[in-house]
Amino acid sequence: MKIVVIQGPNLNMLGIREQNIYGPMKLEDIHKQMKGFAEQNKVDIEFFQSNLEGEIVDRIQECIGDADGIIINAAAYTHTSIAIRDAIAAVQLPTLEVHLSNIHQREEFRHKSLLAPVCAGQIIGMGPFGYHLAMVGMTQILSEVAAMREHQAKTQAAAQQQQQ
Ligand code: DQA
C-alpha cells in the first residue's frame, strides 16, 4: 500500500508564513510525523512539494500504477486549478484534500474548492493534525478497497467453479 502526499505552493514556507493562520510547524516536521504513522502501519509513503501547477499535475499523473491513494493540499491552486482537478479525476485513485486552515472562515475566494468534487473527502481547519487524520482516513479507505477486491475475486472464482 502506497500513499503519495502532494503539497502545493507556499507550503514549503510553513513555520515562516502567516504563523497566526498556519502555526509554527514546518512542512518537514509534518512529513516526519506522517512517515512515523506510515511506518507503524506498514504503508509506503512519498512526499512531493511544488510551487508550480504543471509539476503538481505531472506528479498526480505519475501516481498511476505507482500509488494507491493521494493526500493533497493544493494550497492556492485549490481555488483556481481546473488542471489539477482534471488530473485527480483522470488517475481514478482515492484522494483526500487537506487544508490546515478552515477555508470557509476566511476570504470568500477561498470558500470554493475546485478539487472537492473529485476527492473522496476533505479535512479542513485542523492544522497539522489534519494530515494525520488524512493518513488514518486513507488507510481505512485503502483497506476497504482491498477487502472489496478480495471479496470480488472470491465470488468470481466461486462462480467460475460452478460453471465447470
Ligand atoms: C491552505 C488554504 C489556501 O487557501 C491557501 O492558499 C494555502 C493554504 C491551507 O492549508 O489552509 O496556501 O491550503
Q: Give the mean pLDDT of 123-150.
A: 95
Domain count along the chain: 1
| Cβ atoms of 79 and 109 closer than 8 Å | yes
Q: What angle (nearest 5°) sits at the alpha carbon of residue 40, between those of residues 26 and 131?
A: 35
Give 97-124 pLDDT, tens digit per residue: 999 999 999 999 999 999 999 999 999 9
CA 133/CA 146 separation, integer angstroms = 20
Q: Which atom of ligand 1 is nearest to the CA of 11?
A: 12
Q: Give the mean pLDDT of 10-35.
A: 96
pLDDT at 143: 92
Q: Which atom of ligand 1 is nearest to the CA of 10?
A: 12
Question: What domain range is 66 assigned to?
Answer: 2-163
The preferred substitution site among 17, 19, 22, 72 for testing ligand 1, maximizing ligand atoms within 8 Å of CB, is 22
Residue type, 91: V
Please state which of the ranges 51-65, 100-114, 138-152 shows the lowest mean pLDDT.
138-152
**Nearest to 6, CA basis, from 102, 113, 95:** 95
CA 75 – ligand 1 centroid, Å:
4
CA 19 – ligand 1 centroid, Å:
12
Beta-bridge partners for 123: 98
Q: What is the 3-state secondary structure (H, E, C) of 28-93?
A: HHHHHHHHHHHHHCCCEEEEEECCCHHHHHHHHHCCCCCCCEEEEECHHHHHCCHHHHHHHHHHCC
CA 128/CA 137 separation, integer angstroms = 15
Q: Which atom of ligand 1 is nearest to the CA of 99?
A: 10
- Supply the residues annotated as catalytic: 22, 99
CA 21 – ligand 1 centroid, Å:
9
CB-based pocket (< 6 A), ligand 1: 10, 73, 75-76, 78, 99-101, 103, 110
pLDDT at 164: 82
Place of cell 500504477: 65
pLDDT at 131: 98
CATH number of domain containing 103: 3.40.50.9100
Q: Taking 90 as the threshold, does the pLDDT of residue 8 lie above it?
A: yes
Contacts of 66 (CB under 8 A, 6+ apart): 2, 4
